[in-house]
Amino acid sequence: METVTRRLTDPRLKQRYAELVTALRSELFSIGAAANLSTEQIHNANLGIDSFLSTATGQSPHSLRQYLHNFRFYRRWCMAKNIPTLPIAPFHVSEYLEFLESKGRTKALQVDFGKSLKPSSIASHLSSISLLHQIAEITDITKIKRIKQR
């Protein structure tokens, strides 16, 4: 963790980043624990997590909070659907996007956005799924044509 925040000089900013990175690390490992990956893929994913977190101070706290929110929400949705978090099938990506478009209401997640998400918010969630696949160094299913056309 110290290597992540070493470049920062403001103690408050350093503390904020440290807390966000700790939360992101925990969430990413939770996602990894719910994944359907081979031993080699798990090893690569762990290396990818370390690499992603080591560069986290290059991103704004807002971006890190958004990733954390999206990762948590995605993991909870996968758990409610009883599907692995990684890799995600194209059908499940479409289902997740439809869920987000339909106000994101579900008792299983205990979440109610109360309104339909804006296209930019849905794109943020899709981008986060893409990032998860990139971190884990597995094929990014969000880049296939039928998903991109949504």
55-81: pLDDT as tens digits: 876 788 889 999 999 999 999 999 989
Report the percent of the chain where pLDDT is more than 70: 81
Residue 8's domain spans which residues? 2-148
Q: What is the mean pLDDT of the chain?
A: 83
| Angle formed by the axes of helices 119-135 and 90-101, nearest 10° | 150
| CATH number of the structural domain spanning residue 105 | 1.10.150.130
Residue 113 scores a pLDDT above 60: no
């439809």: which residue's tokens? 98
Contact 135, 128 (CB under 8 A): no
The answer, yes or no, to whether residue 112 has pLDDT greater than 50, is yes
What pLDDT is recorded for position 1?
44
Residue 114's pLDDT band (cuts 50, 70, 90): low
How many domains in the chain?
A: 1
For residue 101, is pLDDT > 80?
yes
Over residues 13-21, the mean pLDDT reads 85
